[in-house]
Chain A
Amino acid sequence: MHIQTQLETTKPHLGEIATLLRGDVEKTAAWSESGDARRVALQIAVIIAGAGCYGAAMGWWRDPRQALFTAIKFPLIILLTTIGNALINAMLAPLLGLNLPFRQTFAAILMSFAAAAAILGAFSPLIAFLVWNAPPMSPQAVSESAYSLIKLAHVAVIAFAGTTGNTRLFQLLARLGGSRAVALRVLFAWLAGNLFLGSQLSWILRPFIGSPALPLEFFRATALHGNFYENVFHSFLQILND
């Protein structure tokens, strides 16, 4: 029997993001169980705002319009990955030993993405500052060192946000399932699926920074031609042939 606790009935508010980041698993476990639609909406809003701001900072280097495009596309990848894998993730959890209902698996994944998006959002002013200080991108010349620095900064920030989000997810799964081994199994299965779909969605929604030599556009004309893994495979073959 579920006891309606005070925490479960608390109205969701923005301050809850701090709880997510702190990894207060007692509270996040209660939230995942309560299935409050307003809390889900809040987390989606955080993903849109956080990843959107980061996307804007990322695209700004190329052009303000690219900033707008990337601000739309970045949260879209996160949300589409969550939705696209929701069913298989919910099926894999009980099969791997974690008996959670669909609503709870969805909430757990959404919370981890919300935590990651909050981190991305927090880093977006820093990235914007970095971009503002970088030499402008033009078709004639792109400073190699500036490009490398910005690329590395993105890798570091996104890796940090992703790692934190997944650590929080692992802690939550371990709390919900009562076993670290089961939580690890489920986390790896979910990660594999999310990375697999997320990579392809990123490929379809490219560009994010945008090459100055190519026209500014929301989708490339070749967005739906080929896929991420084919491209990686052909690049690998090219290296072997060269």
Chain B
Amino acid sequence: MNEPTPVPPVMQTASPLPAPAPPSLHEPRPLGDPAERAPISNTFVAIEAILRHPRRLLFQMRQPGAGKLIAAMISASLICGLIYGVVVGTFSGGTQLWIAPVKIAMGLLISAAICLPSLYIFACLSGSQARLVEVCGLLAGLLLLMTLLLIGFAPVAWIFSESTESPAWMGTLHLIFWLVATVFGLRFMKAGFSHANARSQAGINVWIVIFLLVALQMTTALRPILGKSESFFPAEKKFFIGHWGDCLKSAPEKSKGASPN
């Protein structure tokens, strides 16, 4: 009798599929895949969406009742701005622990409010079909992504705050972190406009320059954010380039560094 040869059990090896790549923000296909239609129920879902599924957020911003979502995003970015502000405040300590967060959150909000009208105008000029509420949503997305990334940089910023005495150096570091975070935020915003049928990105690019200048000037208008001061607002008016020049000139000699040994 022919016994069937026992077939050895096939060892199943783990072969996890590659993580589903998030659809590129700039992918030309229209928004509204089933996955993108899932409603965003709370702020945490919005945070998750802006990091992992930005197209879902872009889709939800076009739906009726997007105002609540936008308000939640702005609130979240304010909270993130406050948290990062506390880390900025640790450089000087004392009253800066509450002054720096307030100034940073306030500065972000005021910069966005100042730039919102021009953003809407440039969006219209570029042929975008985005409504004002969508433009507000894209700006809120920019703020949220920017402040979220700043939170990500916060542990690194704190380590440097504890070991550096030069405000000029710390200021430069915070500016670099802010710039990196802003680049990602602007990328999200530009993708939003490209999905709103904008014919050209030229107007948005001009607006980006304006926004960067406003935000940089805000750091000077609300100074000192890093250092200490007698008054909440500065007495002297300055442009940010002039202020930076003054800071670099007055950088303390003691920051010349300890021995590497």
Contact = CB atoms under 8 A, between A and B. Distances in A.
B164 A230 contact: yes
A179 interface: yes
B177 to A, nearest CB: 9
B11 A87 contact: no
A227 B260 CA distance: 10
Interface string B16-41: 10111110100000000000000000
B155 interface: yes
A225 B258 contact: yes
Interface stretch (B125-133, B146-154, B207-215): B146-154
Contacts of B169: 227, 229-230
B125 to A, nearest CB: 28
Given A176-B19, A196-B156, A200-B163, A95 B184 contact: yes
Contact of A88 (B14, B153, B159): B153
Contacts of A177: 18-19, 21
Given A5-B12, A5-B13, A94-B52, A84 B159 contact: yes
Contacts of A89: 152
Nearest to A237: B256
Interface in A78-125: 83-85, 87-92, 94-95, 97-100, 104
A224 B261 contact: no
B155 A85 contact: yes
B159 to A, nearest CB: 6
Interface residues of B, number: 39
Interface string A1-30: 010011110000000000000000011011
> By CB atoms of chain B within 10 A, which of A175, A214, A227, A231 has the most?
A227
Contact of A227 (B11, B14, B16, B160): B160
A224 B51 CA distance: 34
B160 A200 contact: yes
Contacts of A206: 260-261
A193 B159 CA distance: 13
Contacts of B51: 91, 94-95
Interface string A203-240: 11011001100100000101111110111001000000
Contacts of A220: 258-259, 261
Contact of A224 (B22, B162, B166): B162
A6 B14 contact: yes
Contacts of A104: 19
Interface of A: 2, 5-8, 26-27, 29-30, 33, 83-85, 87-92, 94-95, 97-100, 104, 175-179, 182, 193, 196-197, 200-201, 203-204, 206-207, 210-211, 214, 220, 222-227, 229-231, 234
5 nearest CB pairs, A to B: A88-B152, A222-B258, A178-B18, A30-B14, A7-B14
Interface of B: 11-16, 18-22, 24, 51-52, 148-149, 151-156, 159-160, 162-166, 169, 184, 254-261
25 contacts: A2-B16, A5-B14, A6-B14, A30-B16, A84-B156, A88-B152, A91-B149, A92-B152, A95-B51, A97-B22, A99-B19, A99-B52, A177-B18, A197-B159, A200-B159, A210-B261, A211-B261, A220-B261, A225-B258, A226-B258, A227-B164, A230-B255, A230-B257, A231-B260, A234-B256
Given A178-B18, A193-B156, 11 more contacts: A84-B159, A87-B151, A88-B156, A200-B156, A210-B261, A223-B163, A225-B258, A226-B165, A227-B169, A230-B256, A231-B257
